[in-house]
Amino acid sequence: MSQLDRGGIAGRCATPAGARPGGTGAGRRANTLVSPASTRRVFVAMAGAVVIVPLLGTIAAVWLAVDYGVSWLALVMFAIAYVLTTLGVTLGFHRYFAHRSFRTSPPMRVAFIILGSMALQGSLLYWVSTHRRHHQFSDTPDDPHSPHMDGLSPLGWWRGLWHSHIGWMFAAEVTNAVRFAPDIIRDPLVFRTQLRYLMWAGLGLALPAVVAAGLTRSWYGMLETFLWAGPVRLFVVHHASWAVGSVSHMYGSRPFVTHDHSANNFWVALLAFGEGLQNNHHAFPAAARHAFRWWEPDLTGYVISSLAATKVIWDVVRPSAETVAQRRPTASIGSIVPGA
Ligand SMILES: [Zn+2]
Ligand SMILES: [Zn+2]
């Protein structure tokens, strides 16, 4: 068994489109759960809050900045919170839990869950289930957030962009976690830790404000840092992450032949720490590093290499240069970054 096939999850994510189960009837029922109207209302309310509150907080932060400027403390706390919570999702939720691209210790697993939850993109179980469904059915009717299901007209383009970026969350679909993420449910430590999702999310908002209050000893210092490390940070993290499912399935280069519209978008990859390299990722879902060229931005990949060098993580999945070159019609093996 090659490293890319390890664990079954990665192999399932790489299922060719022709071998996919159908997108209608029994297949659809098995992929999502039928939830009562009350549950759907809660999902819609949470989606609304996640979209609107960070936007309002960002407007308030910019409004205050125009009048009073922005302190270095608020900007530094924004940067720290942005990097840590983005890595919680890209390194933890995505490359470790959803694709099992490396192995690590229980304390690191807990740290990944806490930091990923602070990004307010749903609990680990919700995130992994939804993401594996995206890979298995990418750009088909069973994909939770494809931009290509609304036709080719200009209106269809706008509807597809809206649905893939934000609208899909208001569909309030609950992916069948028993089918898509049984490994998360079976791991007691992981399951129990991710159940406290709202507590970790609240901690992510409160911590920077408490630190700022201690350092500045002023209400304004606390409020300013809360806004920049909280709502503003969430606004940028969210739109960068959502652009992975929208923009990176619409615009960018496609060096590999895949059964979907995934594309490598440089700017999304820069903001989302490598996740915008969707064509590379859909061609090699289990690969820990998403960049195969030196100029492709993949901060998460560099963090993985650093953590592997210090033995904090191990068994990192790396497709060989030959394997990558075989999938790339026009590439030469010599142009691939060694060890990528
Ligand atoms: Zn994708
Ligand atoms: Zn993925």
Tens-place pLDDT, residues 35-73: 788 888 998 999 999 999 999 999 999 999 999 999 999
pLDDT over 90 at 253, yes or no: yes
pLDDT tens, residue by residue, 179-196: 999 999 999 999 999 999
Residue 96 CA, ligand 2 centroid: distance in Å: 10
Residue 135 CA, ligand 1 centroid: distance in Å: 6
Copy the structure tokens of residue 250. Answer: 């619409």
Contact 209, 225 (CB under 8 A): yes
pLDDT over 50 at 28, yes or no: no
Confidence grade of residue 330 (pLDDT, cut at 50, 70, 90): low
| Interatomic CA distance for residues 337 and 316, integer angstroms | 16
For the CA of 250, the nearest ligand: 1
Residue 233 CA, ligand 2 centroid: distance in Å: 23
Place of tokens 């390299």: 277
Residue 131 CA, ligand 1 centroid: distance in Å: 8
pLDDT over 90 at 1, yes or no: no
For the CA of 243, the nearest ligand: 1
| Strand runs labelled E in 159-300 | 174-175
Cα-trace Rg, the chain: 20
| Interatomic CA distance for residues 233 and 54, integer angstroms | 8
Contact 245, 272 (CB under 8 A): no
pLDDT over 60 at 130, yes or no: yes
Contact 180, 137 (CB under 8 A): no
| Interatomic CA distance for residues 295 and 317, integer angstroms | 21
| Interatomic CA distance for residues 24 and 259, integer angstroms | 19
Residue 194 CA, ligand 2 centroid: distance in Å: 19
Confidence grade of residue 336 (pLDDT, cut at 50, 70, 90): very low
Residue 7 CA, ligand 1 centroid: distance in Å: 20
Q: Are strands 174-175 and 313-314 parallel, antiparallel or unpaired?
A: unpaired
Residues, beta carbon < 5 Å, ion ligand 1:
278
Residue 295 CA, ligand 1 centroid: distance in Å: 21
- The two most distant CA atoms of the chain are separated, in Å, by 61
Cβ-based burial of 171 (10 A; exposed 0-12, middle 13-18, buried ≥19): middle
Confidence grade of residue 19 (pLDDT, cut at 50, 70, 90): very low
Q: What is the pLDDT of residue 26?
A: 44
Residue 313 CA, ligand 1 centroid: distance in Å: 25
The phi and psi torsions of 175 (rounded to 5 degrees) equal: -65, 140
% the chain with pLDDT above 70? 88
Residue 209 CA, ligand 1 centroid: distance in Å: 34
pTM: 0.88
For the CA of 12, the nearest ligand: 2
Residue 169 CA, ligand 1 centroid: distance in Å: 16
Residue 244 CA, ligand 1 centroid: distance in Å: 7
Residue 254 CA, ligand 1 centroid: distance in Å: 13
Q: What is the pLDDT of residue 340?
A: 38
Whole-Å CA distances, 147 to 72, 261, 271, 285:
39, 9, 20, 20
Residue 176 CA, ligand 2 centroid: distance in Å: 17
Q: What is the pLDDT of residue 38?
A: 86
pLDDT (average), residues 105-133: 97
| Strand runs labelled E in the chain | 32-33, 103-104, 174-175, 313-314
Confidence grade of residue 151 (pLDDT, cut at 50, 70, 90): confident
Mean pLDDT for the chain overall: 89
Residue 275 CA, ligand 2 centroid: distance in Å: 8
The DSSP element (H or E) to which 182 belongs, if any, is helix 182-186
Residue 34 CA, ligand 2 centroid: distance in Å: 25
Contact 309, 321 (CB under 8 A): no
Copy the structure tokens of residue 295. Answer: 């100029």
